[in-house]
Every structure is written in C-alpha cells, then in structure tokens.
Amino acid sequence: MTNKPVVDFSSDPLVKGPCAIVAYARRLSGKRPALEYIENLKLSDWAKLAKSFIKMAQVGRIHNTERFRKLGGNSGKIYEFKIHPKVRVLCFQLGKTWLLTHGFNKETGDTPSRQIERAEVIMNEHISLLS
C-alpha cells in the first residue's frame, strides 16, 4: 500500500466518471483559486475531498448534506463541498461538470455571503472565458 493520493489535485479535470466531471474554474487571469486552496490542505483533508469528488463523478450527486449542499446565492447555482470541521470548497455546475471556484476555512455559523459572492464572480469569469 502506498501513500499516494487517490486523486491528483494538480490535474484538470480532477475526476472523470460516468455521471459527472469535477474540474477547476478559472479566473480571467488564468488562476485557479480552488487549486491554490486545496494545495495547502493537510493530506487527511485531501483524502476526504477526493472521496467526495469521486462519489460525485461516479454517482452524479451526494445526498448527505453534511458533505455537499446547495447554497444558492444571487444566481441560485452555488454549492459547497464540506469537510468537517471547517474546510469548504465552493462550486457550480455546467452540464455534467462541477467546477470548483475556491475554498476557505469556515469559522462559525452559516457560509459567509462574501464567500458565495466570490464564487459567483469566479463562475461568471469562467463562463465568460468559454464564450
């Protein structure tokens, strides 16, 4: 048995499965904020994220709201992958692709509205790059 991660977080897309793809959203500058956040996580948090990303790719959804839930936002399209106690990675869906916008460490209470707004800005920049 090796200590190699199940998912290579530097590759894009991260995971391809029969039901979905998990990839990084890009900003107009070319940066991928979710990758920058994930690269600085502990290996144990990487493993938990990898498990969630693989399940999303294989099944197409995660029913456990303790692991994945819709946040909405102004667009109504923002979701979050949750790793307890505080790791959050926000995302949106285009077709069968889930695009990770950015991550943050949640301190207390609900997801801050500024984080949802940031996800929407990244989503809009990513979509504009596709046009």
Tens digit of each residue's pLDDT (9 = 90 or more) over 92-103: 999 999 999 999
State which residues form the domain around 32.
Answer: 15-130
Domain count within the chain:
1
Stated pTM of the model: 0.91
Count of CB atoms situated within 10 Å of the CB of 44: 9
Task: Examine residue 8 and state whether it is found in any structural domain, yes or no.
Answer: no
CA atoms 7, 59, 98, 76: torsion sign: negative
Q: Which helix (H) or strand (E) holds 35?
A: helix 33-38
Please indicate, yes or no, if residue 42 is contained in any of the structural domains. Answer: yes
Among residues 66, 84, 80, the alpha carbon closest in space to that of 116 is found at 80
DSSP 49: H
- pLDDT band per the 50, 70, 90 thresholds, residue 6: low
How far apart are alpha carbons 100 and 35 in whole angstroms? Answer: 8
Position 9 in a domain: no
- What's the rounded Cα separation, in Å, for the pair 51 and 17? 13
| N-term to C-term CA, the chain | 45
Q: Is 114 left (phi over 0), alpha (psi -120 to 50) or beta?
A: alpha
Instruction: Examine residue 5 and state whether it is found in any structural domain, yes or no.
Output: no
The CATH number linked to 63 is 3.30.2310.20
Query: pLDDT of 31-59, one tens digit each?
Result: 999 999 999 999 899 899 999 999 999 99
Question: Is 7 within a domain?
Answer: no
